């Protein structure tokens, strides 16, 4: 199962490298797009939940890394106003076939 990273810039200009145990983040975020904090948390939580379920389907146990990343995102997001922008800077690796 391919893992991926995605880098984001928080409203105060801080950059954070994030992790997903699958490429599912490509289904929920776009590089170069800014999302309000609340929407960013919703999108990443949904994606990381799906990623964890993919791990569970394959290995019989959910992904603790996905749960930890979701908790870290929620903790960071709590520092900012709900409508402040979070920009997606980069996602890697690209989808197979270069679709993204």
The pTM for the full model equals 0.91
Number of H helices, E strands in the chain: 2, 4
Residues 6+ apart with CB under 8 A from 75: none
Strands 85-92, 4-9: pairing is antiparallel
The better pLDDT of the pair 99, 36 is held by 36
Distance of alpha carbon 99 from the chain centroid: 18
Predicted pLDDT at 97? 76
The arithmetic mean of pLDDT across residues 83-94, rounded, is 96
Tokens of 94: 């690209």
Q: Dig out the tokens for 83 from the structure.
A: 């409508």
Q: What is the pLDDT of residue 13?
A: 98
Domain spans of the chain, in order of start: 4-98
Identify the pLDDT of residue 19: 95
pLDDT in tens, 29-87: 999 999 999 999 999 999 999 999 999 999 999 999 999 999 999 999 999 999 999 99
Q: Which single residue is written with the structure tokens 């919703």? A: 42
In this prediction, residue 96 has a pLDDT band, given cuts at 50, 70 and 90, of confident
For 10-74, list the strands marked E by DSSP.
15-20, 34-36
- pLDDT (mean) for 3-11: 96
Q: Is 55 helix (H, G, I), strand (E, B) or coil?
A: helix
Question: Is 14's pLDDT higher than 90?
Answer: yes
């Amino acid at each position: 199962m391919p893992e991926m990273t995605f880098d984001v810039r928080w409203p105060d200009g801080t950059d954070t490298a994030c992790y997903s145990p699958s490429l599912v983040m490509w289904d929920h975020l776009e590089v170069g797009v800014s999302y309000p904090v609340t929407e960013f948390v919703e999108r990443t939580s949904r994606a990381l939940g799906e990623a964890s379920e993919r791990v569970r389907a394959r290995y019989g146990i959910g992904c603790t890394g996905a749960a930890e990343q979701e908790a870290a995102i929620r903790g960071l997001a709590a520092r900012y106003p709900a409508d402040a922008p979070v920009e997606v800077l980069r996602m890697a690796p690209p989808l197979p076939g270069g679709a993204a």
